[in-house]
Amino acid sequence: MTTITYTATNTAVQVIDTFDLPTIKTIYCEVHAIDRNTSSVSTLTINHNGIETSEVQTAIAVNNTRPAEINTDIANNVGRVLIQPLVAPTEYTITKTVIDCNLYSENTVSGRLIKANEGFGLYLTGSANNCTVRQSNNNFFGYSNTFLTSNTLGPIATRDELYAYDNLVSFNKSDVANSSNVVVVTSSGQPRNNHYLQLDVTPGTVYRVSCNAYYTFDKVYANEDTFDIGARVAVGTTVSNEDILYRDLTQAETQYVLDFIPDANTIYIGFGFGALGSKVYVESLSVKELVPFHTYDQHEGTFYTKWNAVTAGSVVFQAGNNSVYVDAANNVYINSVNCGAQQTNNRVSFTYSNGDVSYCFNGVGPTTQAATYYGNTQQLVFVSSVEEFSYVPELISNTTLLGLTNG
CB of 256 within 8 A of CB of 214? no
- Looking at the structure, do residues 30 and 179 belong to the same domain, yes or no? no
- Looking at the structure, do residues 53 and 123 belong to the same domain, yes or no? no
If DSSP codes are grouped into helix, strand and coil, which group holds residue 297? coil
- Looking at the structure, do residues 92 and 77 belong to the same domain, yes or no? yes
φ/ψ region of 172 (left if φ > 0, alpha if ψ in -120 to 50, else beta) reads: left
**Residue 259 pLDDT more than 70?**
yes
Which residues touch 73 (CB under 8 Å, ≥6 apart)? 53, 79, 80, 82
Nearest 5°: the CA angle 301, 25, 94 is: 155
Nearest 5°: the CA angle 150, 123, 144 is: 40
- Looking at the structure, do residues 275 and 350 belong to the same domain, yes or no? no
In a domain, 268, yes or no: yes
CATH number at residue 89: 2.60.40.1680
Tally of domains in the chain: 3
pLDDT at residue number 36? 85
| Overall average pLDDT of the 230-241 stretch | 96
- Looking at the structure, do residues 139 and 196 belong to the same domain, yes or no? no
CATH number at residue 229: 2.60.120.260
CB of 378 within 8 A of CB of 260? no
CB of 389 within 8 A of CB of 346? no
**Residue 221 pLDDT more than 70?**
no
Sheet holding 78-83, edge to edge: 14-19, 78-83, 70-75
Chain centroid, CA 275 distance in Å: 42
Q: Percent of the chain scored above 70 by pLDDT?
A: 98
- Looking at the structure, do residues 272 and 194 belong to the same domain, yes or no? yes
In a domain, 106, yes or no: no
Domain range for 62 is 2-100
- Looking at the structure, do residues 308 and 396 belong to the same domain, yes or no? yes
CB of 280 within 8 A of CB of 274? yes
State pTM to two decimals.
Answer: 0.90
Tens digit of each residue's pLDDT (9 = 90 or more) over 246-258: 999 999 999 999 9
Tens digit of each residue's pLDDT (9 = 90 or more) over 36-47: 888 999 999 999
At which of 53, 76, 100 does a domain end?
Answer: 100
Residue 331, classified by CB atoms within 10 Å of its CB into exposed (0-12), middle (13-18) or buried (19+), is: middle
Q: Which of 106-110, 352-356, 392-396 has the lowest mean pLDDT?
A: 352-356
- Looking at the structure, do residues 174 and 286 belong to the same domain, yes or no? yes
What's the length of the chain?
A: 407
- Looking at the structure, do residues 96 and 32 belong to the same domain, yes or no? yes
- Looking at the structure, do residues 151 and 298 belong to the same domain, yes or no? yes
In a domain, 162, yes or no: no
In a domain, 390, yes or no: yes
